[in-house]
Structure 1
Amino acid sequence: MKSIASLLRDHGLLARGPQPVDAASVSLTGADCDSRFAGPDHLFVCKGAAFKPAYLEQALEAGCVAYLCDDSRADELAAVAPHVPALVVRDDGLRTAMALSSAACWGRPDGRLEVVGITGTKGKSTTAYMLRAILDACHDTPQSAIMGSIDIFDGIEDAESVNTTPEPPDLWRHIANAAQSGLPYLTMEVSSQALKYERVVGLGLDVACFLNIGRDHISPREHPSFEDYFASKLRIFEQARVAVVNLGSDHADEVLAAARRCKRVVTFLAGEDAADADVWCRDPRPSDSGIRLFVHTPSWEGEVEVGMAGLFNAENALCAIAACEVLDIGQEQVKAGLAHVRVPGRMELLRTSDPNITGIVDYAHNKLSYQRFFASVAKEYPGREVIAVFGAPGGKAYERRRELPEEASRWADFVVYTEEDPAHDPVEEICAQMAAATPEGQDFEVIVNRPHAIGRAVERAFQSPRGAVVCLLAKGDETRQHEGDSFVPCETDATLFERAVAARTARTDRG
């Protein structure tokens, strides 16, 4: 407690504490912000508009021995737990204090492994899985922990993710678990929200990768403007040793200017005019197992097979390869990892008994990802009818309700609007807004029940005289639907597609 109080005081955050005075000698071995997962000898962080004093009581019952709160809550919580040591910080400093305290309580484990942080509007998860596949390749046991929007693996815990980048107490617990497990690497997605709201303050990044930037997450609950969103993304370079930058990104000059605060900058670019980049490729093309590209790096060059469909994944692969240049990972390990990479719910191909009917599951959920996804589908499946099933989330990123119907209509022959984590917004209202934004002449239906929507898409596909590609977007491999304040179990899009195909085949056989 004494050292953490001193740390917070040095940052101008401490308002009172530690209280009582003799609390300075209390030892802390971790930090928590969810009373359901609180642990012995931990610091409990009292945060959030929905916080209740009962949560602190639950955390203390679970073994927490001290708490951190802001000045506005101090008196109320002192009455609930009068003899419990407390650190009280400025009302505007709780998020920063939570990050700094969590790092200290968990023993600053980031110094015991190499950490790669990846940010961007599109491709973070895929790039993180590609890098993880490379780092694990040629080894009998896992080498890299991973944190991102799909799942978390830290050597001890292996679970589906809630946030792309966890809150600081959870973030540092996962880092501590990875270090304790002897994993030499951590590959993590770093969201704009994490950067804006201080979740990763104090975390040292050995490599910070910047993939791209596009308009997304603009809403009263996220970023008020594109400028705020972009500025939040650029903060990743404030805590990185080496920057990896995509020269093909929009606003690349501004990204490079921010990246130069790092000790070293490594650039990458996909395309014919890419030779000015440190890592580049030419001629990405479809292959039987995914895509193939000729890659040049400062240390090697040659053909690389990527075990994922989607020509846009050439850019994600180059980012992972550029990070490997920094980490001194050689050509053979890079090739072995990329050849066998699989990203749950990313460009997942679903075959049927009819070679002209294919399903694709992908997490594409914003305008930039739609542009890349559909352009790749059009090139890889020429002549086929394109059927798209998607929705838009509730409570955030409101611009998607307009942009996604407009972008999908440039490519798709038939669109079905359905549920996608509506939270507190009525699904019918979200779908109605998307329907209103649909360009005139576009064929579409609204089916709010996602299993029924996918069933309708499958039926349409088998009726198409020219074959079809059924694109199941945004939910990927997720097994939960955000409804109200709850995350309700649901089946994956792949499962729903396969069931709909089987039911359709059974009906045909009976007929």
Structure 2
Amino acid sequence: MTLYLKDFAQILDLPVDQAWADLPVNQVTYDSREVEASSLFICKGAHFNPSYLDSAIQKGAIAYVSEKDYGVSIPLLKVEDLREVLAPMAALYYGHPDRDLEIFALTGTKGKTTTVTYLHRILQTYGEETGEGPCGLLASTTTYDGREARVSHLTTPEPLELYRTLAACRDHGCRRVVMEVSSQALKYQRTKGLHFSHAGFLNISEDHISPIEHKDFADYFGSKLKIFDGADHAYVNLATDHLNEVMERAGACPRLTTLSMGERGDFQGRLIEDLDDGFVMEVTEGEEKNRVQVPTLGHYNGENALMALAMARRAGLPYEVIQKGLASAHVQGRTERFETSDGAVCLIVDYAHNKLSYEVLFREMERIYLDHYKVTVFGSPGGKAINRREDLGLLVGQAMDYAYVTLEDPYDEDPMKIAREIAHYLDQVGGSYEINLDREGAIKEAFRAGRDRYEREGRKTLILILGKGDEDSQSVGRGSQPMVPDTEVAKACVQADDGERLGS
């Protein structure tokens, strides 16, 4: 369907000038490098430079959307707040793909990626077995449009990228899409008007508090709750903090499903048996009981699996498919374990990056690896989530025997300054640590120390490598620098150690 400039003016509630009303719009973009003939160019970004608009005009832009009049020769669609209009414009340009998709949306302070990975694998298995087709995915690590998987750079993309992916999912035969929804996306209206068939709320704790994210917890929590606005079916983990507020907001949805690892809720989970790389959980749904295998270490993943299972069940999937799909799910970079053949050193790589995720991970590791000497390799990002430096420093100092404070997405901040701030809080609780901004080097040093400890004392070592998972880059300045993923470093340490000891 051909779109005209008047169509965009109308959704922006702006007057239509007949002089330009019928100009066809073949592209909408805020990247001047992408501009083609008959483009509608959006002047977006804190660092927007008017030269970008000049370049867009030279390449064929026929109009621009902006909060400011730049006095150029092409028509201006002037708006008060770009964030208010980006999603409606993207929806129009890409033909409202959400109207053809059943969208499963998840939010929470921790567990979003694990939960959407579980749910996506379940729905993908169902599509494969029934011929229904693929299931789309928008997660913090991976985007899958039904045909191609690619690395993600934001938990929830900006509106044009988001709707472009949803349109690709629709065009590639997806009927369903699973997506993470971040507090930033909800606050800044990247998902404005997007119809969620299913909206899940996992948990909430203080995070992302900084001048460029959320000014305080109330802003963060209020943003998270927006996931229920306009959703058909709400899902709530009854173990979340601030349950009353969550339930009040979720109760406004036409349908509500609750769940817990306990004896409350429409879906109840009970741990049955530990496995080498996961555990078995019994799920009670009304009078029915079924067992499922959760393929990830950590009993806290029971809540994540139960949320995925509840959403799949309410979408009409049978337990046989859920059991098969869940058991085959692989959550890359989430509690991935690498252990020497003699058990001397065990490395676990995880994306844990905030207070709540550290707390539950540390409790679980204390349960599983009670007698191990415990080491953490960790850092904190620059320019945002400033509260993590105190939270994580205090937690690690109290719970771990030793720590390596290292590089973790410093952005524009001095990495040593970040490390010293973390160290200040480690000092407050008598933590033992060293600063090593070479992340790969810190992991290797932790491994060597663990091997030496076993040879000297016979004591095994657990090394938790936290924050980056299997990511292959560090955010430095306004760009990125390549890094060897923590998973690869951990694997290489174990392989080299086993090879040396076994003489291969």
TM-score (structure 2 length as normaliser): 0.92
Segment drifting more, 309-318 vs 141-150 = 141-150
Q: Which AA in structure 2 matches 1:4? A: F
Match of 1:308 in 2: 296
Counterpart selection for 2:211 from 206, 216, 220 = 220
1:249 positional shift:
0.2
Match of 2:485 in 1: 492
Residue 339 of structure 2 contacts residue 494 of structure 2 at CA under 8 Å; is this kept in 1? Answer: no
1:139 positional shift:
4.2
CA distance, structure 2, for counterparts of residue 186 and residue 500 of structure 1: 38
Instruction: Sort the Cα spacing of 1:383 and 1:210 in 2 relative to 1 into closer, same or farther, 3 A.
Output: same
Counterpart selection for 1:446 from 432, 435, 438 = 435
CA distance, structure 1, for counterparts of residue 285 and residue 22 of structure 2: 53
CA distance, structure 2, for counterparts of residue 445 and residue 129 of structure 1: 35
CA distance, structure 2, for counterparts of residue 254 and residue 66 of structure 1: 44
1:60 positional shift:
5.1
Counterpart selection for 1:6 from 7, 10, 15 = 10
Match of 1:23 in 2: 20
Instruction: Sort the Cα spacing of 1:301 and 1:506 in 2 relative to 1 into closer, same or farther, 3 A.
Output: closer
Q: Which AA in structure 2 matches 1:86? A: L
Q: Give secondary structure in 1 for the equivalent of 2:469.
A: coil
Match of 1:210 in 2: 201
CA distances 1:421-440 after superposition (whole Å, capped 9, x unpaired): 00111111111011110144
Residue 362 of structure 1 contacts residue 474 of structure 1 at CA under 8 Å; is this kept in 2? Answer: yes
Residues 85-100 of structure 1 mapped to structure 2, 5 A cutoff = 85-90=75-80, 93-100=81-88
CA distance, structure 2, for counterparts of residue 261 and residue 40 of structure 1: 45
1:384 positional shift:
1.2
1:29 positional shift:
5.1
1:232 positional shift:
0.6
TM-score (structure 1 length as normaliser): 0.91
1:36 positional shift:
3.7
Q: Which AA in structure 2 matches 1:442? A: G
1:284 positional shift:
5.2
Match of 2:92 in 1: 104
Identity %: 37
| 2:368 matches 1:364 | no
CA distance, structure 2, for counterparts of residue 39 and residue 207 of structure 1: 37
Match of 1:353 in 2: 341
CA distance, structure 2, for counterparts of residue 182 and residue 476 of structure 1: 31
1:38 positional shift:
4.7
Q: Which AA in structure 1 matches 2:242? A: H
Counterpart selection for 1:265 from 240, 253, 256 = 256
1:479 positional shift:
0.9
CA distances 1:368-412 after superposition (whole Å, capped 9, x unpaired): 000111111111222111111000000001111110021123321
Consecutive unaligned residues of structure 1, counting only runs of 5 or more, are none
Instruction: Sort the Cα spacing of 1:502 and 1:187 in 2 relative to 1 into closer, same or farther, 3 A.
Output: same
CA distance, structure 2, for counterparts of residue 414 and residue 198 of structure 1: 42
Instruction: Sort the Cα spacing of 1:420 and 1:284 in 2 relative to 1 into closer, same or farther, 3 A.
Output: farther
1:320 positional shift:
0.5
Q: Give secondary structure in 2 for the equivalent of 1:24.
A: coil
Match of 1:319 in 2: 307
Consecutive unaligned residues of structure 2, counting only runs of 5 or more, are none
Match of 1:54 in 2: 51
Match of 1:457 in 2: 446
| 2:332 matches 1:339 | no
Counterpart selection for 1:400 from 372, 388, 399 = 388
Q: Give secondary structure in 2 for the equivalent of 1:244.
A: strand
1:149 positional shift:
1.2
Residues 136-215 of structure 1 mapped to structure 2, 5 A cutoff = 136-140=124-128, 143-215=134-206
CA distance, structure 1, for counterparts of residue 419 and residue 444 of structure 2: 18
RMSD over aligned Cα, in angstroms? 2.1
Residue 32 of structure 1 contacts residue 170 of structure 1 at CA under 8 Å; is this kept in 2? Answer: no
Instruction: Sort the Cα spacing of 1:30 and 1:269 in 2 relative to 1 into closer, same or farther, 3 A.
Output: farther
Q: Give secondary structure in 2 for the equivalent of 1:240.
A: coil
Q: Which AA in structure 1 matches 2:448? A: E
Segment drifting more, 418-427 vs 33-42 = 33-42
Counterpart selection for 1:418 from 392, 406, 416 = 406
Match of 1:45 in 2: 42
